[in-house]
Amino acid sequence: MKHESEGYPTGAEVPSYRVTGIAYKGTFSGPFGSGIQNAPIPPYLIKKHAGESWTAYKVRESIAAIDEMVKKIADGGAFGLDCSNLILLLQGKVYEGYACNEISGSISATAFYEIKQAVRSRVLELTMELEKSVPGALDVGFGNSNTDKSDTEQVQQISQQIIYGNVSTAVAGGPASTIAVSVCERDDDSLIDYLVNQGIASEDASQLAGIMASEEPSSKEEPFGNKAKNWIASNLEKAASGTWNVGVSVATKVFTEAALKYYGLK
């Protein structure tokens, strides 16, 4: 949780809940004194001509700084971005025959508020999961510690999954080592093994694998069929009750990542 309290340094991976969209508006001038003021610029054009980094902003600020941003915007302020380079990248590519004179980018207060809420919920879930799965984590202190190495590794994995929700690179054996999601396309056995390793009960993993094998996903954005979606919705309570060794938010991401791999969508 250090990065949440102090901010994420450049180069550090940012959790998905800290990536938000940006709304852009531009001012353009045309022939014979014509012009277009404060015209919304479609994200598609931004991404096409300038790259995804301009449409998906990574909020690296500390949670305290984010709280101040929310207050500032609520009081009528704004969170602005330096778009000088974007003007050059989009020059002549938005409106034919019109020069781009100015671009402004903004992020809504709602986006920052949602980050605050996401951090709070994950801190709570992390605390509860550590108390349940690694009781020894409560004894960690400064100086020499008798904490078992396996406990340390488990704490790292739980923290990685809850904060990042990144089940494709779960920590195993230390902060620098990773293991990849080993779900092979249309391979029921590898799907079941992966789900079980992520904390899903064996019987439930087999049941879901059978359902997924019997139907096709709706889309890449929603990689489940109707039966699988209904099954997940009715069984997520097992994560909340502790029947599964995984929290609710992480379980959802586990299922999604597994489905993408299983159906060959990723």
User: Average model confidence (pLDDT) for the chain?
Assistant: 79
Quick one: how far is CA 69 from the chain centroid?
A: 20
Q: Residue 152: its pLDDT value, please?
A: 58
For 157-172, what is each residue's pLDDT tens digit?
Answer: 655 555 555 444 333 3
Q: Residue 28: its pLDDT value, please?
A: 94
- CA distances in angstroms from 266 to 13, 52, 105, 183, 255, listed in the order given: 20, 18, 31, 11, 13
For 212-258, what is each residue's pLDDT tens digit?
Answer: 999 999 888 889 999 999 999 888 888 877 788 877 777 888 898 89
C-alpha 14/C-alpha 11 separation (Å) is 9
Q: Which of 61-75, 117-131, 232-246 has the lowest mean pLDDT?
A: 117-131
Q: Residue 231: its pLDDT value, please?
A: 93
pTM for this predicted structure = 0.48
